[in-house]
Amino acid sequence: MDSKKTKVIFRTFKDGEVIAIFPEENGTNAPWTCSSYMHIGQHSSCNPCALIKDTRLSTPEEYNDLKNELEKIVGYNLEVIKRNRDKFIYVRLEKLEDQYA
């Protein structure tokens, strides 16, 4: 398991599918995107602001299977949070700057 805590927000679509949003992890080289994960498709990039508008906060019962997959199979050490904060874009931007420094 990863020693570093990774912040994650679990959201549920209208069809019941759960997505994990990693607000501090870059999705692409665009700072407004972050990384996400679903059972089907696994890792992808997303626009967290747009995605949050189309989903609702997941309950622990809804996200438990996905959380277990991320921790036991993928190896994340997760810190579940409930809100996307403006500061996360600055964290992603700093990581991009470090990547290209």
Stretch 85-100: mean pLDDT: 91
Q: Looking at the domain assignment, is residue 101 inside a domain?
A: no
Q: Which amino acid is at 69?
A: E
Report the domain count for the chain.
Answer: 1
Q: Looking at the domain assignment, is residue 58 inside a domain?
A: yes
Name, in order, each residue with C-beta under 8 angstroms of 60's C-beta and a sequence gap of 6 or more: none
Neighbouring C-beta atoms of residue 18, cutoff 10 Å: 20
What's the confidence (pLDDT) of residue 2? 67
Is 99 a residue whose pLDDT tops 90? no
Distance CA 89, CA 56 (A): 21
Q: Looking at the domain assignment, is residue 10 inside a domain?
A: yes
What's the confidence (pLDDT) of residue 1? 63
What's the confidence (pLDDT) of residue 62? 98
What's the confidence (pLDDT) of residue 47? 95
Range of the domain at 26: 5-96
Stretch 72-92: mean pLDDT: 95
The length of the chain, given as a count of residues? 101
Burial state string for 21-48 with b = 16 or more CB within 10 A and e = fewer than 16: bbbbbbbeeebebbbbbbeeeeeeebeb
Q: Looking at the domain assignment, is residue 59 inside a domain?
A: yes
Please write the tens of the pLDDT for every residue from 8-67: 999 999 999 999 999 999 999 998 999 999 998 899 999 999 999 999 999 999 999 999
Q: Looking at the domain assignment, is residue 86 inside a domain?
A: yes
Q: Looking at the domain assignment, is residue 63 inside a domain?
A: yes
Q: Looking at the domain assignment, is residue 44 inside a domain?
A: yes
